[in-house]
Amino acid sequence: MIRAHREAALLIALAVGLLPWTLWLGLSLPSEKIAEHWDLAWVGFDLTLAASLLATALALLRRSPLLEAFAAATTALLLTDAWFDIITASSTKERWFAIGLALVAELPLAVICALLARPRTAG
């Protein structure tokens, strides 16, 4: 139990410490930036999301005890994907497409995965 409290305290400290860092980023980063390897970043993210969806599906089919962890990770990735698709859209048309995709695909899938991530009760 002591170890859990130390680990929780560390996570709380990191969360609180992230706040001033985030404020500094918000004030100092430019609103626009040309990024190298933009394509690689998105391809890598989407491959990670695909692997996470597959791992969740296989864990579900196999009734694996890892299902909750895979489903939780997939939920986070789907929410992140929706967020970045909307925020990084470069035109109004792209932004509406991203919002539509979030509403019909990413967010409903995130809800399903979040439900799968809930702890199961025996019996």
Token output for 123: 């019996």
Cβ pair 78, 113 in contact under 8 A: yes
Q: Nearest 5°: CA angle at 82, between 117 and 20?
A: 90
The pTM (predicted TM-score) of the whole model is 0.87
Extents of the domains making up the chain: 1-33, 37-123
Q: What is the pLDDT of residues 76-106, one digit of tens each?
A: 999 999 999 999 999 999 999 999 999 999 9
Q: Which of 118, 85, 115 is nearest to 102 (CA)?
A: 85
Q: What is the pLDDT of residues 17-54, one digit of tens each?
A: 999 999 999 999 898 888 899 999 999 999 999 999 99
